Structure 1
Amino acid sequence: MKHIVIGTAGHVDHGKTLLIKTLTGTDTDRLKEEKERGISIELGFAQLKLPSGKQAGIVDVPGHERFIKNMLAGVGGIDLVLLVIAADEGVMPQTREHMDIIQLLQVKKGIVVLTKVDLVDEEWLGLVTEEVKEFLKGTVLSQAPVVPVSSVTGQGIPRLLQFIDKLVDDTEERVNTGKLRLPVDRVFSVTGFGTVVTGTLLAGRISVGDTVQIMPQGLVSRVRSVQVHGQKVEQARAGQRTAVNLTGVEVEQVKRGSVIVSPGSVKPSHRMDVRLLLLESAPKGLKNRARVRLYLGTDEILGRVRLLDRDELEPGQEVYAQLELEEQAVAGKGDRFVIRSYSPMRTIGGGAVIDANAPKHKRFRPEVLEALATKEMGTPEELIDQFLAGKQGLFTSEELVTATGLPAPDVEAGLQKLASEEQIKVIPADHKDLVVSLQVYRTWGREIRSMVENYHREYPLREGVPKEELRSRKFSFTNNKSFQYLLQALEVDGMIKIYEKTLASPDFTGELSAGHKRLIEAMVRAIHEGHFQPPSWSEIVKSHKLKEHEAQEYLQYLLRTGKLVKLGDEELYYSAERYRQARQMIVDFLKENKEISVAQTRDLLKTSRKFTLPLLESLDRERVTRRVGDNRVLIQ
């Protein structure tokens, strides 16, 4: 079933609430003060059952100028509007301001309802109707039907319901795919259940048991129950008026203007790029850095307007600008907003969000304006390419959805096109492929290869650059797992060679110079000729007059290549051949004698206890032998 939300708009005391009561049977004025004063102060909500059987939610907004902020909190999530104008008064100041808001929010479907027709004659009704049509020229409601009704006598109500029914049928339903987004317009507590929030579900779905995040506060909660039109449901979908019972949060921690989202799906910001229109009806120009009131979703936030290409915006002009906010806001690309002057409070403009997490821009820069034009109007592949250009990072498609504000299918299509045009590098990963600009990827490859080759020249005895050293120096922005996927891609593309813990140049052979070879052979020979009681490493170093750092390089090479085997924690080493020989002699002895002592091992190898103990401990670690008391036995 289609889910549509209808909102009212219009001047105070023009009959919005009575009209909703006549249509739905629900009195949306719930506050004592509203009853006493006879005007709507807060948002009201009702359910409308249409002649076709379809259902729609209705948001009744206040008309008094003092409560415009409450009106704005309700009108942001509507799909179509009932602009209510009293036949006995016609177009009034809040009619005009509400119409400006409808225009700024681009609510393009609606019906103009002329109420209180029982109070005027036919001639007057005709004059008011003409006035209204003239008023609507050039607006989003210029083609909207004008329906005269009386909520007292019932005149015109059946016809109005038919118009609403048809308009609901013609209105496109909100998309259920994508990440959850529920702007909160009301928060209250229910005894025995705790905190309840309500709002119009703008995107995605919300189900009982879901883990959600309350932004911009960053609170995490779980959904205890969900209601739609007062009925408990397991799941609510985009377009539905929804009440959500949250666990683990207090009423005081949530406010109107908060947004319920999927955890980690949005990032609040103090700065956003926008396209901004200053209404022709604005009393004066808007200067750079002017303080304004921003109405976004259900939130009201103070901030300043940074004009990027001029010092003052004249009424009727439209520009790219930045909003610098005094509190964090949550928004998505394309979200509509309204601004009102700080004092006196008056609706002066609005527009659409281009980048909800914008960096600070320098003013009067053509390249900045060009980039904003691409962000606003670009194709998916242009937006992805713009985001990736020069970015030092590896990104999943989900991260690109958040960064560009595009739907997931558009991101996938854009990535496929960019890959086919060789504009990006797609790096295979276990679950989610990683994406980087091809230019950045190739730059990384050249820089890494250069680093590796320089490393080989500086440390010819080493296998290559330690992976972790490279990551900490150049790729600290990514986690180790993603870094490994990047290295694998670079190896496939012939830019590097990967070892267990190091990276080498693809043409690295490890071939040593003649001088290195002679020295290594001499050191190994000296240790080998010492049989099972060779000279210590410090003696070798001294005999060849090596500096400490040189000695360490040679030692690491000899151990890595297996030419030497270290015995225990002391600086005692056997040549690989002597170590194999000693191991075989001990194994042969154990096969005949079942066990061997330290003294027997010492006598067998004609060595000292200094070498015997670490040798036996080494064989224990290799699980060749096992210690039993003071002796060793062979592990079968």
Structure 2
Amino acid sequence: MYVVATAGHVDHGKSTLVRALTGMEPDRWAAEKRRGLTIDLGFVWTTLPSGAELAIVDVPGHRRFIGNMLSGIGPVPGVLFVVAADEGWREQSAEHLRAVQALGVRHGVLAITRADRADPGPALLAARAELQRAGLEPVPAVAVCAVTGYGLADLVTALDAMTLRMTPPDPVQRVRLWIDRSFTIQGSGTVVTGTLSCGAVGTGDSLDVCGVGALESVTVRAVEALGVARDRVSAPARIALNLRRVAPGRLRRGDTLLTPQAWHLADVVDVRSHAFEERLPLRLTLHVGTAAVRVRARPLAPGALRLTLERALPLQPGDRAILRDPGGRGVIAGVVVLDADPPPLRRRGAAASRAAQLADTPERPDLASAVRRRGSLAVEAAQRLGIPTQKPPPEGVLRIGSWYVEESTWRAWTAGLSAAVTAHRRAHPLQPGMPTAAAVATVDLPDPALLEALVTEAGLMSSDGRVSEPAAAPDLGPAEAALSAFEETLARHPFAAPERGELQAAGLTARHLAAAASAGRIIVLADDVVLLPTAPALAMGTLSVLPQPFTASQARQALGTTRRVTIPLLEHLDRRGWTRRVDSGLREVAD
């Protein structure tokens, strides 16, 4: 399916033309039919000679309804531009062309209506020149008369040819459906319609609703396209969705249905602007998709603006939108989103620096630019921002786990971590290394999961929640000699643990013992019982040959030590699962 919208001056025959093309009535309201004036959007469709289905959004031409017109043309990739032969190019022709130009619509067909009333040649030449000046591809032009049928076959052929030039979007893209109608059908519930510009929607799908208030989840009960029930529809398409779990009146034009958890909701965006007026008011209305949101504009440089939105919208780089003066109601600028997650501008000169960055920012999402600006970017965040991911990553960007990191940022992190670990060792010689939480905070890593790769890159070690230099043992200072002496004694007599007073007299404090234990030189059991790390295994060799079960007294005698050492040692073996209690006073070696 392909989708186009009409455009053109009021009363130039847009609705009459699409009625003749499709045999359907685009005007939905009684007031429209009574006055012969399109007020709101109309939706009709037809099948082209090639077999392609073409949906047409008929928009109002009157200046008072420009907001409705922008809602209709916002999500569509092609335009059927209508100019009357007997009136030629008019004010709203230019206004609608501004909208077409601002939204980046590149595909179109020009229809010169009412060819039975005047020579269509002058109007055709003037209109074609205006369209080409606005940047549309070479536009086919057809003179028609909807009343007599003159030229309609040629117009259908031109529309069919236009669809061949349109590149359909990827159906596996994220869904973003801008709602243009919402209503309730008794017995069925809420139904919404819109132009599906990306992704695919099917029965049973869960979608997020983005509107006023928090995100809500809804389920698609049924899908209809061009009046026919479908199991699944891919973009581009005009679709109607019957939704579950939606209160009547909850949804409205300008809300969006989104792939769950797949979109960044932006309330501040940086844009490149093409102004049709010399001065922009500070307060404007932003038209994007079918939404119309008040914004505050901050000029950064000629052609660059920061927009602060009244409510967040699912925007991504490359999105095109229109700025309109809510007072004068005219289209005064077209904008393209360059960054939907821009940095704050807090310091003096930040705006000028940001403008310089934006000058080199491509209009299409670019991973290298996005990572360069941030230093690092999570893969999931890139996807939510609509920035295409790459395998392998672009030059100058590293893929570290679930993150993209700029090479210079990675080098800075590596150097920073090495320096921080060295400084920590000097400041805390008794500690076995820098706590990992402190390392993450010191380097300002965006995700603790990056630390492991960074430790490896820096040639450091990570163990037991600490980061240290290779082979770096705690520096016990003057207490080193005392500890070495006790180690020699315990090597000869494994269970002759020194008394607490002996440790204190030798200058070994609790901090020294903890540092030695972290380095794997000793183990410290309850009641400050200090043994070598080999003691538990040696004890098991002795206890395993005792008659099972055994008492604590039997264990003490077999180990040749005191009750002060035996009880904490047996409790340690219990915790390790090497021995177990079988009665209040008995233990046995575990299987």
Q: What is the TM-score with the length of structure 2 in the denominator?
A: 0.88
Q: Residue 467 of structure 1 corresponds to which residue in structure 2? A: 436
Measure the CA separation in 2 of the matches of 1:483 and 1:249: 44
Equivalent runs, 1:254-265 vs 2, <5 Å: 254-265=251-262
Q: Residue 573 of structure 1 corresponds to which residue in structure 2? A: 530
Q: CA deviation at 1:60?
A: 0.7
Equivalent runs, 1:422-461 vs 2, <5 Å: 423-427=396-400, 429=401, 432=402, 434-461=403-430
Q: CA deviation at 1:322?
A: 2.1
The answer to whether structure 1 residue 320 and structure 2 residue 320 are counterparts is: no
Contact 2:207 2:258 in 1 (8 A): yes
The answer to whether structure 1 residue 615 and structure 2 residue 569 are counterparts is: yes
Give the alignment partner of residue 552 of structure 1, picking from 495, 504, 510.
510
The answer to whether structure 1 residue 331 and structure 2 residue 315 are counterparts is: yes
Contact 1:309 1:363 in 2 (8 A): no
Equivalent runs, 1:147-546 vs 2, <5 Å: 147-215=142-210, 217-279=214-276, 282=277, 285-287=278-280, 290-309=282-301, 319-361=303-345, 367-376=353-362, 383-389=366-372, 391=374, 393=376, 395-396=378-379, 398-403=380-385, 405-408=386-389, 411-412=390-391, 415-416=393-394, 418=395, 423-427=396-400, 429=401, 432=402, 434-475=403-444, 477-478=446-447, 480-484=448-452, 486-487=453-454, 490-491=455-456, 493=457, 495-506=459-470, 508-510=471-473, 515-524=478-487, 534-537=497-500, 539-545=501-507
Contact 2:4 2:80 in 1 (8 A): yes
Query: 1:302 corresponds to which letter in structure 2?
Result: R
Contact 1:308 1:363 in 2 (8 A): no
Indicate how the Cα distance of structure 1 residues 588 and 364 shifts in structure 2: closer, same or farther if over 3 A, else same: closer
Query: 2:513 corresponds to which letter in structure 1?
Result: L
Measure the CA separation in 2 of the matches of 1:134 and 1:74: 24
Measure the CA separation in 1 of the matches of 2:391 and 2:561: 70
Q: Secondary structure at the match of 1:185?
A: strand
Q: Secondary structure at the match of 2:378?
A: coil
Measure the CA separation in 2 of the matches of 1:42 and 1:5: 18
Indicate how the Cα distance of structure 1 residues 24 and 596 shifts in structure 2: closer, same or farther if over 3 A, else same: same
Q: Secondary structure at the match of 2:154?
A: helix
Indicate how the Cα distance of structure 1 residues 187 and 483 shifts in structure 2: closer, same or farther if over 3 A, else same: farther
Q: CA deviation at 1:268?
A: 2.0
1:534-580 deviation line (CA, Å, top 9, x unaligned) = 4543x23431345xxxx12321234345544444x433334556655
Query: 1:587 corresponds to which letter in structure 2?
Result: S
Q: Residue 586 of structure 2 corresponds to which residue in structure 1? A: 631
**Total equivalences in the alignment:** 586
Give the alignment partner of residue 80 of structure 1, picking from 75, 78, 81.
78
Q: CA deviation at 1:183?
A: 1.7
Indicate how the Cα distance of structure 1 residues 12 and 392 shifts in structure 2: closer, same or farther if over 3 A, else same: closer
Indicate how the Cα distance of structure 1 residues 574 and 358 shifts in structure 2: closer, same or farther if over 3 A, else same: closer
Q: Secondary structure at the match of 2:545?
A: helix
Measure the CA separation in 2 of the matches of 1:14 and 1:199: 25
Q: CA deviation at 1:7?
A: 0.9
Indicate how the Cα distance of structure 1 residues 577 and 253 shifts in structure 2: closer, same or farther if over 3 A, else same: same
Measure the CA separation in 2 of the matches of 1:134 and 1:394: 45
Contact 1:391 1:440 in 2 (8 A): no
Q: Residue 313 of structure 1 corresponds to which residue in structure 2? A: none
Q: CA deviation at 1:520?
A: 0.5
Measure the CA separation in 1 of the matches of 2:540 and 2:180: 79
Contact 1:527 1:574 in 2 (8 A): yes
Contact 1:194 1:246 in 2 (8 A): yes
Measure the CA separation in 1 of the matches of 2:349 and 2:450: 37
Measure the CA separation in 2 of the matches of 1:125 and 1:535: 110
Q: CA deviation at 1:354?
A: 1.7
Indicate how the Cα distance of structure 1 residues 612 and 151 shifts in structure 2: closer, same or farther if over 3 A, else same: same
Query: 2:511 corresponds to which letter in structure 1?
Result: E
Q: What is the TM-score with the length of structure 1 in the denominator?
A: 0.83
Measure the CA separation in 2 of the matches of 1:135 and 1:498: 67
Q: Secondary structure at the match of 2:149?
A: coil
Q: Residue 316 of structure 1 corresponds to which residue in structure 2? A: none
Q: Secondary structure at the match of 2:167?
A: coil
Q: Residue 56 of structure 1 corresponds to which residue in structure 2? A: 54
Query: 1:542 corresponds to which letter in structure 2?
Result: Q
Unaligned 5+ segments in structure 2 are none
Measure the CA separation in 1 of the matches of 2:375 and 2:272: 28
Indicate how the Cα distance of structure 1 residues 53 and 532 shifts in structure 2: closer, same or farther if over 3 A, else same: closer
Q: CA deviation at 1:443?
A: 1.3
Measure the CA separation in 1 of the matches of 2:363 and 2:408: 24
Q: Secondary structure at the match of 2:515?
A: helix
Indicate how the Cα distance of structure 1 residues 395 and 136 shifts in structure 2: closer, same or farther if over 3 A, else same: closer
Q: CA deviation at 1:581?
A: 5.2
Indicate how the Cα distance of structure 1 residues 526 and 392 shifts in structure 2: closer, same or farther if over 3 A, else same: farther
Q: CA deviation at 1:299?
A: 0.9
Measure the CA separation in 2 of the matches of 1:168 and 1:513: 79
Measure the CA separation in 2 of the matches of 1:561 and 1:174: 59
Measure the CA separation in 2 of the matches of 1:275 and 1:12: 30
Measure the CA separation in 2 of the matches of 1:531 and 1:146: 100
